[in-house]
Structure 1
Amino acid sequence: MNTSVGTLIGLGFYLTGGLLPAADYVIAVIDPTRIVEQSPQYEAARAQLEEEVNDREQKLAEQQKRLSELQQKLERDAALMSEEELQRLQTDIRNRGRKVKYAQAEFREDFSLRQNELRTKLARQVEEVVAELAREENIDLILSEGMVYVSKRIDISDKIIMRLKEKFEASKGL
């Protein structure tokens, strides 16, 4: 059992004199990983991120290819070049190499930031739906991660997923 959940339950027992009347409380459980992975919002965010990544990866690959071509030219034609041409080509290769490294680092950072933005947005949507469903169904406590055993009777993950699908479909109509 999760330590914080155990502490919460222990505190509840202490405050109520050791007994919590089970009929007075509604407890539910969610599987946040399943909710996220089965939500259409996750799939849309993944597809959007993949599209953004593909464009930038293609540009980076083109830059890397051009750099490799110049390096091959240097290796192949160095003996035939004048000192000035050789110097110019080496400088061009160095500058392009720096630009490619910078672009790759910037890409990784942007990808990470974008991934976090989408993850945060999705987490917020899930939290809103969980709270909305809890209010509608008068659920007093919803637990998530760290469960050893969960009865299907109290797992409301499917309801959350359905609600997310409804909200996704409604937002597409706007």
Structure 2
Amino acid sequence: MTKLLKFFAAAAAVSFALGASAQELKIGYVNGERVLREATPAKAAQAKLEAEFKKREGELNDTGNKLRTALEKLEKDGPTLAEAERSRRQRDLGEQQRDFERKRRELVEDLNQRKNEELAAVTERASRVIKQIFEQEKYDLILQEVVFAGPRVDITKKVIDALNAGK
């Protein structure tokens, strides 16, 4: 849903809630980005990803450094090499460069996929916590994406604390 549609949906929900009852309307706001940045499960997921991909990133960096060194050596030695030898080395380095780029793309794709999986799990847990707070504290409306929200309605810390407590 686009942000504009979400805004209109939220506005309609607020209008409906205001019209439905004359009592005090209880609204909450959760900063989803802050939850994903500060909650212990989100930090644990980030640490897990870093540990999972550290070896591959290190190997890729080493390969990149070796390739860069080999390219510099070819540039330095190129004028003194025979044409056939220079062409062979250029071909070999071109193949190594393509292999390096392929491995780098694969790493980025794998990392993004795993990051999405981990964030989805944290987001699902956060949604359950938000629903639990919604029901227990009898909120009429809890929003996640808003233009402005005052501290009186911001329940982000409450959500983060509940996630950190393992609820």
Counterpart AA for 1:115:
K
In the alignment, what sits opposite 1:172?
none
Q: Does 1:150 align with 2:146?
A: no
Q: Does 1:165 align with 2:164?
A: yes
Q: Which runs of 5 or more structure 1 residues have no equivalent in the other structure?
A: 169-174
In the alignment, what sits opposite 2:48?
48
TM-score by length of 1: 0.75
Partners of 2:34 and 2:69 lie apart in 1 by: 47
1:47 deviates by 1.9
Pair 1:136–1:103, CA change in 2 (3 A): same
Deviations 1:35-71 (A, max 9, x none): 3322101111222223344433321221112212222
Partners of 1:91 and 1:149 lie apart in 2 by: 59
Partners of 1:163 and 1:26 lie apart in 2 by: 20
Partners of 1:144 and 1:79 lie apart in 2 by: 63
Partners of 1:88 and 1:3 lie apart in 2 by: 64
In the alignment, what sits opposite 2:11?
6
Pair 1:101–1:149, CA change in 2 (3 A): closer
- Conservation of the 8 A alpha-carbon contact between 2:78 and 2:86: yes
User: What does 1:86-105 correspond to in 2, within 5 Å?
Assistant: 86-105=86-105
1:81 deviates by 4.1
In the alignment, what sits opposite 2:58?
58
SS at match of 1:22: coil
Partners of 2:150 and 2:77 lie apart in 1 by: 70
Partners of 2:76 and 2:33 lie apart in 1 by: 54
Pair 1:3–1:27, CA change in 2 (3 A): same
TM-score by length of 2: 0.78
Q: Which runs of 5 or more structure 2 residues have no equivalent in the other structure?
A: 1-6
Please, what is the CA RMSD of the aligned residues? Answer: 2.7
User: What does 1:14-29 correspond to in 2, within 5 Å?
Assistant: 18=19, 20-23=21-24, 26-29=26-29
Q: How many residue pairs are counted as aligned between the two chains?
A: 162
